[in-house]
Structure 1
Amino acid sequence: MDGRPPATCAIGIMAKAPQPGRSKTRLCPPLTPEQAAALSAAFLRDTARNIAEAARRAPITAYAAYAPRGTEDVLAALLADETALILADGNGPVPDAVRGFGRCLLQAVEGMLGRGHEAAIVLSSDTPTLPTRILVQAASLLLAPGDRAVLGACGDGGYYLLGLKRAHADMFSDIAWSTETVAAATRERACGLGLDLVELEPWSDVDDADALRALLAEAGGYAAPETRAVLAQFGLSAGRIAWDVIPA
């Protein structure tokens, strides 16, 4: 034994304080701005608790990589007790080619690695049903010897998870965020860096009405009790989709 502490993998939810009119706006309609904010809060609660469950199975430390500054108390009330806060508002120094949301992601990775973790994962807050085993798998892959990236892609061309062992700024450079090219561009960046890229099972993030429909019909994955409870309050379930305003 060399006396060093065991290696750990940090997982940071990319979190924003839920606010009506600013949270999950692509779900309005069918939801009202207030409902969308409540659903966003439920997603955060479930995702934080999912990470806490994964931490009981693997050496994982939970974070919320949050924005904006000043919303710490609001977010802390939504998160599992074990979840630490780390600012990721995109205002830190980054290369010019890293723009938009990439600045927040890179800041989150740098911040978590800077706290002494062997690896860092940035995780979408919009995947409340992501199976716990996927988080455990991602952490285990990253804690194995050798430099690599771990990617969890979404069907819409984005990704729900990216894990790194070093803060490679190029992984976030010159990417058109919020488009269907994000995952493909990220694969290209990993190839250009000579990184071994391990891809996880695809999963959906809930960012529009179609994805919400799919969530209501979904039977597998993490139970997401907070999300299910909020949707039931809205009168939405797999057997009763009460939103006539949404085009078929």
Structure 2
Amino acid sequence: MSAATGGATTLLVIAKSPLPGRVKTRLTPCFSPLQAAALAEAALSDTLAAGLGVAAGRRVLVLDGAPGPWLPAGYEVVPQAAGGLDGRLAAAFEGCAGPALLVGMDTPQLVPELLAVPFGPGGWDGCHAWFGPAADGGFWALGLADPARAGLLRGVPMSTPRTGAVLRARLTSAGLRVRDLPALRDVDTPADAAEVAALAPHTRFARTFRTLGTPVPTPAGPGLTAESR
């Protein structure tokens, strides 16, 4: 039996407007703020395009900033709530009336096929939550059958190597049955950018990366960072 509360699943994309100095600041100084913003815009465009390929009941961009020409038709735009990232993520879910799945703008390698099961027939059968782990210990996707359970996000330490483990443990400790999506690598550092561009060479992100040259790699850090969301 489905654990969902009913209704087609909403896709939530949480993002910041890709403006120089406001996004992807960890890509500098290997890239200039303008170049980092160009990579952020490309990653966001790839993510939004992937979202158009899933069978969502609604598609909502939860945005810090103003939309630009990078926004395709088919998305509603709502402002992010105030406060820390944990509260902003929780508020995004709480604006939904039924099951919802949230992704960020840091995984331009995302393709609709990765989300086919949660957004397909019976996608919530036997589970209350979907969890997409990030390679750095964070998470790139979270789905909740009942958005009223979004309060479990509040108080989770964000942008640490333990973020994903803490959140998943909270979900299971609350009695939620969790299904996992494949692990993906967030783009936070130049090394991340180079690896993701190589993994997904046909994306807008990879094309933009190739025009900027090869950066000096820096160590990877925890995903789902507040600076890009």
User: With structure 1 as the length reference, what TM-score do the two structures score?
Assistant: 0.78
**Pairwise CA distance, 1:34:** 0.4
Between the two proteins, the alignment pairs up a number of residues equal to 213
Larger radius of gyration: 1
Measured against aligned partners, the alpha-carbon deviations of 1:71-101 in whole angstroms (never above 9, x if no partner) come to 2xxx25212200111222335xxxxxxxx20
Distance 2:101 2:200 in 1: 26
Taking the aligned partners of 1:79 and 1:170, their CA distance within structure 2 comes to: 29
**Aligned-residue offset at 1:219:** 4.5
Aligned to 1:182: 163
Partner of 1:97 in structure 2? none
In structure 2, distance between residues paired with 1:210 and 1:228: 13
| Maintained 8 Å contact 2:109/2:200 | no
**1:109 Cα shift?**
0.7
- 1:89 and 2:81 are equivalent in the alignment: yes
Identical amino acids, percent of aligned pairs:
28
Is the CA contact (8 Å cut-off) linking 1:45 and 1:79 kept in structure 2? yes
1:48·1:62 contact (CA, 8 Å) conserved in 2? no
User: Unmatched 5+ residue regions in structure 2?
Assistant: 1-5, 220-229
Partner of 1:36: 36
In structure 2, how many angstroms separate the alpha carbons of the residues matched to 1:129 and 1:179?
A: 22
- Partner Cα separation in structure 1 for residue 138 and residue 195 of structure 2: 17
* Alignment counterpart, residue 208 of structure 1, candidates 186, 189, 204: 189
Q: 1:35–1:197: structure 2 CA closer, same or farther, 3 Å change rule?
A: same
Taking a change above 3 Å as real, the CA distance of residues 144 and 35 of structure 1, as seen in their structure-2 partners, is same
| Aligned CA-pair RMSD | 2.2
- For the residue of structure 1 that corresponds to 2:74, the secondary structure is coil
Residue 139 of structure 1 corresponds to: 119
State yes or no: 1:102 paired with 2:113.
no
The 1:191–1:141 alpha-carbon spacing in structure 2 relative to 1, beyond 3 Å, is: farther
Q: For CA contacts below 8 A with separation 6 or more, give which structure has more relative contact order.
A: 2
Q: Which amino acid aligns with 1:165?
A: A
Distance change in 2, residues 1:184/1:218 (3 Å) = same
Q: Residues 107-155 of structure 1: CA distance to partner in whole angstroms, max 9, x if unpaired?
A: 11111x13xxx31111010101113211222323874345501000011
**Unpaired segments ≥5 residues, structure 1:** 1-5, 92-99, 236-240
Shift of 1:175: 1.2
Which residue does 1:218 correspond to in 2? 199
Contact 1:64/1:85 (<8 A) preserved = yes
My pick for the range that moved more, 25-34 or 169-178, is 169-178
Residues 212, 59 of structure 1: alpha-carbon distance in 2 compared, 3 angstrom cutoff? closer
Q: Is the contact between residue 119 and residue 142 of structure 1 (CA under 8 Å) also seen in structure 2?
A: no
Amino acid of the structure 1 residue aligned with 2:136: D
Aligned partner letter, 1:43: A
* Matched letter for residue 79 of structure 1: L
Measured after TM superposition, the shift of residue 36 of structure 1 is 0.5
- Quick check: 1:231 aligned with 2:212? no
Matched position secondary structure for 1:140: coil
Once the two structures are superposed, residues 168-188 of structure 1 have per-residue CA deviations (whole angstroms, 9 ceiling, x without a partner) of: 134213211000111101111
Once the two structures are superposed, what CA deviation does each residue of 1:177-216 show, in whole Å capped at 9, x if it has no partner? 0001111011111112100000111111101122112123
Which runs of at least 4 in structure 1 moved beyond 6 Å after TM superposition? none
For 2:225, the equivalent position in structure 1 comes to: none
Q: Which residue of 1 aligns with 2:63?
A: 66
Q: Which one-letter code corresponds to 1:174 in the other structure?
A: G
